[in-house]
């Protein structure tokens, strides 16, 4: 790395500097005492006079992230906000302690409650949650406990919040996800991300690019880097998290054994020690081509096209014999070659310096294209919608959207099938299944144990496309390609009139939010479902509470009904976002055709 004393042009690039506090550095970088470091990859990092980075760019000056720093009430420097650019051009935001929840406990009946101190409460919580006391100390400071003389305790829980940024700033930020509150001026653990399925594509690696950058700044000049551990209350270890962490840090099993096996045990995942890899992933943007190229250790790892309506990157990783979704990338000579099944494209960009040739054995093509499930072809989907097809949940009392509410039902039914023999039996026996308006949960509604006929009526194409890709991944892992040929997605509601009457064994039906709850409209929907089902077959219908009163007159017996807000899956969601609110009266009905 070398320091640059001049004012590099990257500071003047439009969109690189957004935070008002950083404009001073952009106007006269040298006069403010700032410092710019050029890394061995050509990437640039700009530092304030106090040594904290405020901008990181690639070798061409394209922004990767921008940090805003301030001071807390004690006068110490603290990270206020970060803008992080994703591979496909979208910006996300990070706000330390941006999500604050508070719970109240009444310990008045507990002997000695007046003498309780913060560490007593930490010890009680650690025992109840079965987590190490040191983890409680890590996430709950003394000032997060408010204990009065009557034994009432208020406990504040701080989490770092992640947001989707419209036009690259926080003006109209939408909450996306959260993670354990980190000490950003002295990074000492790897965080648990909650609502991880709400993360936009590429968020995890882009946030870890920031974490690794700050970590390197803080460990510069030290004889040994700070060892990190995965910490959270609770932890959610997964194979995807292990892969992400391993791109930036090397795992070591401190207690012996294999790091992955140890990591996947929630009670022992914190025993894995993580140390920095020598060459973390590096990203290079080409603004004109709308392309992001990711290299690691001289090998091309991933290419993301901003204009790609599939919402998928090209990767050089194989799972089994095939590349994910049959999309691969390689370096051949001085060119980057993209391959989507049997179609190859030469990418019109300059190969980053140090990229190694990867023109080895060609990647095999899977027997079936993931797009084949769309009976009439994939409907038009904009690239922004394709990449942005994730479920977002408000942090306040705003109503949860139609698609975002669907997993509470689908996940509940999936869990119920593991506990309830009757439900498990009817799902197992169903051969022809109709899924209507469940675009966010199609794969969850599918049983992957034998070939079945699935018909999926699509209302939200971008979400349905994500589900088609997920189904392809499951079939690829199981090597059951013939199952894909019996799944069809369709936008055509005329199917209700064309498909043979009384031919389905099972129906999942979400009443559209925009259809209203007038009796005449609900009656028509019940009649449509009735026409599709065989006698004695089952429907799971999700809609207004008054559907229950209308069911018998339209040929259904309600076996049971449950308000969605009472389902365990939604109650679990409220432990993360306590203010979460569903549409009033939204109910899950288990109906049987009589």
388 and 315 within one domain = no
Measured CA to CA, the distance from residue 442 to residue 436 in angstroms comes to 9
Does residue 466 fall inside a structural domain? yes
DSSP 55: E
Query: 419: buried, middle or exposed (CB in 10 Å: 19+, 13-18, 0-12)?
Result: exposed
Does residue 88 fall inside a structural domain? no
Measured CA to CA, the distance from residue 402 to residue 564 in angstroms comes to 12
119 and 66 within one domain = no
Kindly give the confidence (pLDDT) of every residue in the chain, 594 residues in length, as a single tens digit, with 9 standing for 90 and above: 666 554 467 898 889 999 999 998 888 888 889 999 999 999 999 999 999 999 999 999 999 999 999 999 889 999 999 999 999 999 999 999 999 988 888 887 777 777 788 888 888 888 777 778 888 888 888 888 888 877 788 888 899 999 999 999 999 999 999 999 999 999 999 999 999 999 999 999 999 999 999 999 999 999 999 999 999 888 889 999 999 999 999 999 976 789 999 999 998 898 999 999 999 999 999 999 999 999 999 999 999 999 999 999 999 977 677 999 999 999 998 899 999 999 999 998 888 888 888 877 778 899 999 999 998 999 999 999 999 999 999 999 999 999 999 999 999 999 999 999 999 999 999 999 999 999 999 999 999 999 999 999 999 999 999 999 999 999 999 999 999 999 999 998 777 767 667 689 999 999 999 988 888 999 999 999 999 999 999 999 999 999 999 999 999 999 999 999 999 999 999 999 999 999 999 999 999 999
Which of 335, 365, 395 terminates a domain? The answer is 365
Block residue for tokens 């950058």:
213
Does residue 354 fall inside a structural domain? yes
565 and 527 within one domain = yes
Q: Indicate the angle between helix axes 402-419 and 568-576, nearest 10 degrees.
A: 120
Residue by residue, what is the 3-state secondary structure of 426-473? Answer: HHHHCCEEEEECCCCCHHHHCCCCCCCEEEEECCCHHHHHHHHHHHHH
Which of 36, 71, 106 terminates a domain? The answer is 71
Does residue 350 fall inside a structural domain? yes
- Residue 180's SS3 state is strand
539 and 412 within one domain = yes
545 and 445 within one domain = yes
Measured CA to CA, the distance from residue 455 to residue 463 in angstroms comes to 16
Kind plus residue range of the DSSP H or E element containing 477: helix 461-478
Measured CA to CA, the distance from residue 57 to residue 78 in angstroms comes to 22
Kind plus residue range of the DSSP H or E element containing 116: none
351 and 441 within one domain = no
Does residue 515 fall inside a structural domain? yes
Does residue 225 fall inside a structural domain? no
Q: What six digits make up the tokens of 159?
A: 């989490």
Counting the structural domains of the chain, the total is 4
- Name the residue range of residue 111's domain: 98-157
Which of 157, 181, 196 terminates a domain? The answer is 157
576 and 491 within one domain = yes
532 and 388 within one domain = yes
Does residue 183 fall inside a structural domain? no
478 and 522 within one domain = yes
Spatial CA neighbour of 226 closest among 162, 183, 283: 183
Q: What six digits make up the tokens of 456?
A: 């999926």
Q: Which residues pair with 230 in a beta bridge?
A: 190
Measured CA to CA, the distance from residue 525 to residue 164 in angstroms comes to 36
Say what the alpha-carbon torsion angle 381, 303, 13, 92 is, to the nearest 10 degrees: 60
Q: What six digits make up the tokens of 292?
A: 């992001």
465 and 326 within one domain = no
347 and 393 within one domain = no
Contact 591, 538 (CB under 8 A): yes
Does residue 143 fall inside a structural domain? yes
14 and 103 within one domain = no
Instruction: Indicate the pTM of the whole model.
Output: 0.93
């Amino acid at each position: 790395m070398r320091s640059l004393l001049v004012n590099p042009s990257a500071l003047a690039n439009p969109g690189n500097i957004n935070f008002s506090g950083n404009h001073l550095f952009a106007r006269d970088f040298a006069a403010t005492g700032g410092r710019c470091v050029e890394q061995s990859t050509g990437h640039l990092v700009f530092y304030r006079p106090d040594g904290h980075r405020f901008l990181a760019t690639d070798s061409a000056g394209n922004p990767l992230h921008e940090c805003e720093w301030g001071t807390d009430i004690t006068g110490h420097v603290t990270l206020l906000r970060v803008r992080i650019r994703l591979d496909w051009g979208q910006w996300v935001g990070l706000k330390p302690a941006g999500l604050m929840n508070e719970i109240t406990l009444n310990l008045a009946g507990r002997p000695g409650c007046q003498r309780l101190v913060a560490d007593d409460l930490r010890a009680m919580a650690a025992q109840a949650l079965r987590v190490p006391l040191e983890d409680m100390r890590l996430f709950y400071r003394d000032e997060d406990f408010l204990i009065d003389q009557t034994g009432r305790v208020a406990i504040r829980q701080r989490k770092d919040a992640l947001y989707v940024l419209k036009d690259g700033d926080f003006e109209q930020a939408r909450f996306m996800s959260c993670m354990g509150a980190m000490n950003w001026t002295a990074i000492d653990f790897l965080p648990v991300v909650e609502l991880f399925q709400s993360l936009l594509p590429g968020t995890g690696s882009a946030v870890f690019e920031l974490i690794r950058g700050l970590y390197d700044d803080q460990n510069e000049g030290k004889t040994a880097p700070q060892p990190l551990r995965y910490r959270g209350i609770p932890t959610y270890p997964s194979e995807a998290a292990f892969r992400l962490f391993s791109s930036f840090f090397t795992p070591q099993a401190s207690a012996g054994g294999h790091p992955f096996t140890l990591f996947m045990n929630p009670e022992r995942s914190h025993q894995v020690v993580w140390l920095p890899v020598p060459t973390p992933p590096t990203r290079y943007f080409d603004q004109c081509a709308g392309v992001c190229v990711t290299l690691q250790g001289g090998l091309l790892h991933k290419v993301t096209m901003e204009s790609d309506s599939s919402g998928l990157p090209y990767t050089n990783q194989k799972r089994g014999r095939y590349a994910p979704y049959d999309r691969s990338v390689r370096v051949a000579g001085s060119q980057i070659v993209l391959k989507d099944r049997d179609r190859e494209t030469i990418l019109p960009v300059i190969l980053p310096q140090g990229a190694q040739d990867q023109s080895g054995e060609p990647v095999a093509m899977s027997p079936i294209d993931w797009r084949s499930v769309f009976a009439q072809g994939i409907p038009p989907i904009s690239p922004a919608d394709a990449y942005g097809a994730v479920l977002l949940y408000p942090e306040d009392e705003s109503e949860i959207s139609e698609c975002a509410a669907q997993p509470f039902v689908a996940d509940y039914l999936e869990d119920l099938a593991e506990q309830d023999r009757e439900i498990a039996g009817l799902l197992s026996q169903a051969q022809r299944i109709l899924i209507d308006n469940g675009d966010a949960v199609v794969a969850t509604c599918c049983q992957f144990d034998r070939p079945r006929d699935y018909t999926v009526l699509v209302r939200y194409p971008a979400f349905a496309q994500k589900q088609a890709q997920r189904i392809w991944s499951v079939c690829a892992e199981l090597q059951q390609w013939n199952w894909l040929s019996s799944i069809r997605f369709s936008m055509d509601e005329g199917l209700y009139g064309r498909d043979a009457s009384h031919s389905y064994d099972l129906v999942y039906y979400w009443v559209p939010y925009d259809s209203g709850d007038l009796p005449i409209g609900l009656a028509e929907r019940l009649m449509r479902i009735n026409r599709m089902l065989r006698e004695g077959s089952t429907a799971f219908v999700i809609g207004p509470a008054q559907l229950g009163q209308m069911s018998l007159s339209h040929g259904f017996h309600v076996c049971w009904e449950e308000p969605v807000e009472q389902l365990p899956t939604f109650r679990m969601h409220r432990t993360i976002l306590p203010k979460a609110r569903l549409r009033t009266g939204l109910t899950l009905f288990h109906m049987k055709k009589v």
